[in-house]
Structure 1
């Protein structure tokens, strides 16, 4: 249950701490006093959308925390575990907190663990249900009626069986349809498939083959360029045109010419000239140059012999690369995708070859899963028929004290076409109402008035409350549009619900307020040009005065006080 709400700087509320107990708690006050602010604050802590307008004027941020005490088996703890929020069931209390800054940004916390607003909202929905004064309109939404009926009396394991069997049937249908479509497509392109598989199998593309071929071709082309360079160098050193002397020949000729001159001068009787010494140096240099050139020729020749190019390998590499790329372009895939493409085509051929047997097996699976779904859905339909009668009886029993004793409630169960079958079964559920004798039951939104919808919704809450894990129900002006004895009847039903679930009610009805276990008055105070909303828990005498105000209006009379005493005497 909700044990405490702490509000800071929300609209007109500067600071407000309220503690709550089990039973029925009512909030009363004049129109505009701030009762809606109190509900908005609670909604904020439960994960409702944050708005900058909620921050009190002059404050930097608004914050609201709601404290709960719940039993260890409550689904809230399962939800927290699923989202990795480590809060043990015995770690009480469970505190939901929301902080909203002046720019509208918000932060959410669960027992001081930072969480997303979405998780806070999901958790809040498991703890508190707020029924707004206009939310009875949701009763006119037939898409919700099936869930309400199932929640009333359908075993959860039966619902799970129907969902599982439908999913299995749907999956079997999808598999059979895919196989049938594949088989049909394979038959239509059988000739192309077989030729393509034959061609690709002959080509036999390998994983990463393109990269290997490109690398191999690059290496062979590099070797080709190297050999061409060596041969060009050798050609320069040994020209084929004999009219052009090679460098070695020229060096030898120059060396011989200088040697003859040196010999001639050494035979002469004249003393040696300086040029003779220089000539000897040149001859030595020429001889060294000749030796170097000869060594270069030897090295180049050896390199040329060792660097023999395998032109056939280069051609084969380029042809293989061209064949792979041409085939890839033909089939609109990359070279790297060719092996998988071949495998896919082979699988399609395999589908064609063994498809008939596989398709027969899949169709049998469809029949088997369809039969299982039919059986589970039939059990669910029968259970819903029984639940519909029980719900009709329970709701109409609640109608009598709510002054709807002449109304008839019906649950219409209509078979759905097969195309609309789902995990929820095979039927559409809708609630119908007839508010007057002799009237044909019809859709609630067309038959019931706003006040009648409020009471119908309340009857549903009474019937469903005992079967819910919800810890707290909040009714916002459920008495709208009714008064007198009807309002008193609504108060009785709220009091009955509060025996099993904590109930809060914002009300303008003294008849409902008189049934409360706890009574708060919401007031608006204006002081020093500042307006603030406060909530006061009323003691017995204060409560009497508040009921009298609600009965008499602005001027409280003794007669109103006497009427208040009468209501309180009939209350608890």
Structure 2
């Protein structure tokens, strides 16, 4: 809801601060007083398309600030969140325009682009009339409006559309894979045969490389270890020590103990040499490599690396690559069965979606008749009894919202062909059509402010009274701003402002004045009687306010 509008140096307004209220807010004033300036100023703050020369003569820039209260589920909160702006209970939009046409906008003191400002404006205010290019006059939104009117649930339809699209995508992917496989069938069969023959295992390349390096190292050191074994065993040091020990032991009886220590040392040495020889012998046995083992390891290692290079994968990925190619070949060989199953899934998804789309279409057709009947009841009191409203439904390309195109059409005269709302006569007639439609479609206010500009144009008396009553009813629980020349409409307002133009010095300025109860009587009397306000006009004004 719009709570405040502050205008600085815009057209004929130098400084203006307005506080709006819930319900029906009416603005009246003589022609040319500047009522449209308020809409121009508000449109600037909301990012609407409008005139470029808005800066007041003598000023360097103009500025408009609009303040809105946001209900908890207000759609503006989503726009703010997408823009990375924190949303509170109040939203302040401010926009500055300079003489050269440059414009800068802020939302809650955060600078925003024109696109974000327009998106926010679309959730905050709806202008009914010939400038309305995004609300009731936009056929792209008519289907959603009809669904809301008929309380038509389309969530399941959207789910079935996604299921249908997913099934079709799975089938297309399978058919494309089969087509690719057919094109490369000879290569695929040869590749799988080659991979199956080699049967590479995960991590095998690294393991083979390590074994190869170990065997190569053994080849380099085995000769030295063999020589060491010969040097310490019976053919070497062990034999010589044994001979020395035998010789000493033969001479010990005659040496009177002088050889005992040497014999003990040689005995110990002989034991140590025996242990060393055993350890070396064990090492040699561990180093034994069959003549063809190294060759076999190298052959498999190079085969794995060569095949990995051939298929442009890492050696460790060759096993996974082989699995993929086997699966492709299996899919090729049994592709008919798999694709047939996918086609059945597509047919089932299509049937489910089509059935739900038909249900939604039937519900829309029922809602369309109800809306047409409701509109017929609203048009007559608005002096549009010769007009005919019709909700036209046509087949459209299937989509997540169904297969219906919905357009609100009107024929303003009997026998005349019906046309879209956005092509009928402009002005008050169009505004009354939109008012009737808004009355029929409105279910609940979601914080949206509605503006009707001179909806009473070309009507008076009972018709103007009907317009006022409908605006009053529509404003219950929400907020409507209406610019009017009809006292019957103005009398229905919960809040009343008069727009007036004054000459101050050499400058012509517009003012907007909130009216008290007595001032409302005078304003309504002026609207009834013209320049000369009579006692009868005042009495008539009081009667309108009390009706």
Any residues of structure 2 matched to 1:191-230 within 5 Å, and which?
191-194=186-189
Report deviation, 1:411. Answer: 2.6
Any residues of structure 2 matched to 1:330-479 within 5 Å, and which?
349=329, 351-416=331-396, 420-435=397-412, 439=415, 442-444=418-420, 449-450=425-426, 451-479=428-456
Any residues of structure 2 matched to 1:120-269 within 5 Å, and which?
120-135=117-132, 142-155=139-152, 158-194=153-189
Report deviation, 1:106. Answer: 0.6
Provide the C-alpha distance between the structure 2 equivalents of 1:120 and 1:185, rounded to a whole number of angstroms. Answer: 50
SS in 2 for 1:460: helix
TM-score, normalising length from structure 2?
Answer: 0.68
SS in 1 for 2:471: helix
363-372 or 46-55: bigger deviation: 46-55
Report deviation, 1:395. Answer: 1.7
Provide the C-alpha distance between the structure 2 equivalents of 1:399 and 1:137, rounded to a whole number of angstroms. Answer: 23
**Contact kept in structure 1, 2:472 and 2:492, CA below 8 Å:** yes
SS in 1 for 2:431: helix
Match of 1:10 in 2: 10
Report deviation, 1:567. Answer: 4.5
SS in 2 for 1:516: coil
SS in 2 for 1:427: strand
TM-score, normalising length from structure 1?
Answer: 0.66
Change (3 A) 1:82 1:161: farther
**Contact kept in structure 2, 1:50 and 1:100, CA below 8 Å:** no
526-535 or 54-63: bigger deviation: 54-63
Provide the C-alpha distance between the structure 1 equivalents of 2:56 and 2:192, rounded to a whole number of angstroms. Answer: 75
Any residues of structure 2 matched to 1:91-102 within 5 Å, and which?
92-102=89-99
The answer to whether structure 1 residue 108 and structure 2 residue 106 are counterparts is yes
Q: Deviations over 1:15-49 (max 9, x none)?
A: 11001222221222334332222112212322336
Corresponding residue to 1:557 among 523, 532, 545: 532
Provide the C-alpha distance between the structure 1 equivalents of 2:141 and 2:158, rounded to a whole number of angstroms. Answer: 18
Provide the C-alpha distance between the structure 2 equivalents of 1:405 and 1:518, rounded to a whole number of angstroms. Answer: 30
Report deviation, 1:370. Answer: 1.9
Report deviation, 1:99. Answer: 3.4
**Contact kept in structure 2, 1:434 and 1:447, CA below 8 Å:** no
Provide the C-alpha distance between the structure 2 equivalents of 1:481 and 1:119, rounded to a whole number of angstroms. Answer: 37
**Contact kept in structure 1, 2:126 and 2:135, CA below 8 Å:** no
Change (3 A) 1:432 1:11: closer
SS in 2 for 1:500: coil
Match of 1:30 in 2: 30
Q: Show structure 2 runs of 5+ residues with no match.
A: 206-298
Q: Deviations over 1:99-150 (max 9, x none)?
A: 345551313122x344444334333322221223453897665433212211
**Contact kept in structure 1, 2:128 and 2:434, CA below 8 Å:** no
Match of 1:272 in 2: none
Provide the C-alpha distance between the structure 2 equivalents of 1:139 and 1:50, rounded to a whole number of angstroms. Answer: 19
| Aligned pairs, number | 449
Change (3 A) 1:108 1:353: farther
30-39 or 77-86: bigger deviation: 77-86
Q: Deviations over 1:502-530 (max 9, x none)?
A: 11111233332233222222233333333
Match of 2:65 in 1: 65
SS in 2 for 1:533: strand
The answer to whether structure 1 residue 490 and structure 2 residue 467 are counterparts is yes
**Contact kept in structure 2, 1:136 and 1:457, CA below 8 Å:** no
Provide the C-alpha distance between the structure 2 equivalents of 1:563 and 1:341, rounded to a whole number of angstroms. Answer: 94
SS in 2 for 1:162: helix
Provide the C-alpha distance between the structure 1 equivalents of 2:454 and 2:328, rounded to a whole number of angstroms. Answer: 66
